[in-house]
Structure 1
Amino acid sequence: MARFFGFGQGEKGLKAGSCGVYRILLVALFFCFLGTMLGGIWADMSWGRFWGWDPKENGALMTLLWCSCTLHARLLHVCSCQGFLVLASLGNIVAAWGWFGVNLMGIGLHSYGFVEGGWFWFFLFVGLQVLAAASALIPQRSR
């Protein structure tokens, strides 16, 4: 699991992995922002309001804010490369909540696609993401 975060190759591999994830997050932030704005325009045309604080809209906002905070943490050197990768992996939980968690709640205008027993799979995914992020914090032996 540690090689996933670029630890197996030393500091050089960690920086390369961090740069790759940084680029992916930039693209993700752009498309999340674009999708949220286009969804707001559609909502304004269909329902007469741009933003209504619906759970699905809040999930999209949480994803945008998490991507922004993670990118700013790296850009302002608030965290190390390792910390940045941990923040990025925890962002999977935020994105999963925005996409699937709000549907499992069953409330709001965007609640559709209910799945019985979906909470088990959602929390299994969350647990695996937390384990992946925690594995990155385990000190590595130098060779």
Structure 2
Amino acid sequence: MNRGFSLLEVLVALLVIMLLFTAGAKISILSTRSGSYARDHTLAAVLGHAGLVRLAGLDHGSPELRAGWHRDPANPIEYDGRGGYYRFWQIDESPMGKQVVLFVVWNEGVRKASDFGSLVSLKESGCPQVSFSEIIPSP
């Protein structure tokens, strides 16, 4: 009767253990990325909502509500210890009031956000972004 394990059995066991550790490492990396993705989108949503509330509270004749492309003077915005968020908005006149489309953009990997001069340059950058839309009624 043979006692112990053969070399083949030991190698198969090591292969199974290696596969389990590799799967665990991949799950850990995916979990970290998902957490970062969720945090970035949550912070962008907070900044976007705050921006819309601020714009809605301005006087209708304010320079920040004139038709055209606007950059937040606070860019780049640091929030919750994280920097690299940029806020922009496009104002268009409509019969119901002022149509506001607000964008929050941030850095991700090699795609770096900056002070974009137009909606076209923002879209071409490939940076992650969240947009919000609202109509500010005429007085």
The answer, yes or no, to whether TM exceeds 0.5 is no
- State the TM bucket, normalised to the shorter chain: 0.3 to 0.5
In terms of fraction of residues, the more strand-rich structure is 2
TM-score, normalised via structure 2 length? 0.35
In terms of fraction of residues, the more helix-rich structure is 1
